[in-house]
C-alpha cells in the first residue's frame, strides 16, 4: 500500500476502471474473468489493474485453481472508504472517510440559516459554524455507508451460499446500488447479451421480487414487503 492517499478521482475518471471495480465489488476475481467482463483487450485490462494496484486501490495474490494447472492471479479491493467532493466557483473540497464497523445513534443537524453577516469576522465565524454541522453530516454518512457495506457483504455471502449464481448476484448488486436500471445498461456493464440479462433477471425474481417492464428492471419493494410479511406470519396459528 502506498503511504499517500490513493488518487481515487484519477482512477474513477476511466470507465474501464469503474467497470472493473464494479465487478470486484461482487466478488474477488481472477484476471481472465475480469478480462471477459470488459470490452477492451487483455493487455489494456492488465494495464488498468496495474494502475489501480499501484495506487493502493487493489491488491493481488496467486491462488491454486480447482483444476490442475498454474495458479491464478486474483484481485480484490484493498480500501474501505467513502469519498465526498464539492466543486463550485467558490469551493473545491474533498474528503476520504474511512469505513469501519457500523455505529448507531442519532445525529441532529442545525440547518437553520445564520443571521446576516456584515463583517468579515462574522462571515468567517458563520463559515466555521456551518463546517461543524458538516462534520456531523460526514459522521452520519460514514455510519450509514459502514452499515450498507456490512449488509451488502452479508447479502453476497448468503446469495452465493444459497443460490450460487454470480450473474444473478451481479444484477442484484447493481440494482441495490442504483435503485433500478435498463436491460441495456446491465448488458453493457456485465458484458453479456440482453436476452441473457432478462433470463437471469427472471431467475433472480424467484428469490428477490423484481419489476421487469419495457426494458427496465428494479426491485419490487411492495412485493418484497409482502413476502417478508408472509415469512413472518408463517409460524403463527
User: Is 155 a member of any domain?
Assistant: no
Instruction: Quote the number of domains for the chain.
Output: 3
Helices 15-26, 42-54: crossing angle, 10 deg rounding: 80
Per-residue pLDDT of the chain (237 residues; tens, 9 = 90+): 445 778 899 999 999 999 999 989 987 788 988 998 888 999 999 999 999 999 999 999 987 766 666 788 899 999 999 999 999 999 999 999 999 888 877 888 887 776 666 799 988 988 999 999 999 999 999 999 999 999 999 999 999 999 999 999 999 999 999 999 999 999 988 889 999 999 999 999 999 999 999 999 999 999 999 999 877 665 554
User: Is 179 a member of any domain?
Assistant: yes
The answer on 92 and 69 residing in a single domain is no
| E-only strand ranges, 65-169 | 72-77, 81-87, 92-98
The answer on 86 and 73 residing in a single domain is no
User: Is 198 a member of any domain?
Assistant: yes
Query: How far is Cα 103 from Cα 219, in angstroms, rounded to an integer?
Result: 27
The answer on 130 and 95 residing in a single domain is yes
CATH number at residue 23: 1.10.10.10
Instruction: Give which of 230, 174, 231, 162 is closest to 201, Cα–Cα.
Output: 174
Give the domain range for residue 177. Answer: 164-233
* CA 48 to the chain's CA centroid: 19
Amino acid at each position: 500500500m502506498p503511504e499517500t492517499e490513493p488518487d481515487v478521482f484519477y482512477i474513477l475518471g476511466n470507465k474501464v476502471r469503474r467497470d472493473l471495480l464494479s465487478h470486484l465489488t461482487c466478488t474477488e476475481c481472477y484476471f481472465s474473468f475480469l478480462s471477459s467482463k470488459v470490452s477492451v483487450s487483455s493487455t489494456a485490462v492488465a494495464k488498468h489493474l496495474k494502475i489501480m494496484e499501484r495506487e493502493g486501490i487493489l491488491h493481488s495474490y496467486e491462488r491454486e485453481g480447482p483444476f490442475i494447472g498454474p495458479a491464478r492471479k486474483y484481485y480484490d479491493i484493498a480500501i474501505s472508504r467513502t469519498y465526498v467532493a464539492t466543486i463550485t466557483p467558490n469551493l473545491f473540497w474533498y474528503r476520504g472517510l474511512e469505513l469501519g464497523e457500523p455505529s448507531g445513534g442519532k445525529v441532529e443537524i442545525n440547518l437553520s440559516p445564520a443571521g446576516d453577516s456584515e463583517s468579515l469576522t462574522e462571515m468567517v465565524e458563520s463559515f466555521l459554524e456551518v463546517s461543524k454541522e458538516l462534520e456531523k453530516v460526514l459522521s452520519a454518512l460514514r455510519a450509514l455507508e459502514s452499515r450498507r457495506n456490512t449488509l451488502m457483504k452479508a447479502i453476497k455471502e448468503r446469495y452465493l451460499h444459497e443460490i450460487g449464481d454470480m450473474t444473478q448476484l451481479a444484477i442484484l448488486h447493481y440494482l441495490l446500488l442504483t435503485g433500478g436500471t435498463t436491460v441495456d445498461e446491465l448488458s453493457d456493464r456485465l458484458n453479456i447479451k440482453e436476452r441473457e440479462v432478462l433470463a437471469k433477471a427472471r431467475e433472480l425474481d424467484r428469490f428477490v421480487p423484481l419489476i421487469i417492464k419495457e426494458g427496465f428492471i428494479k426491485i419490487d419493494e411492495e412485493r418484497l414487503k409482502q413476502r417478508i410479511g408472509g415469512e413472518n406470519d408463517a409460524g403463527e396459528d
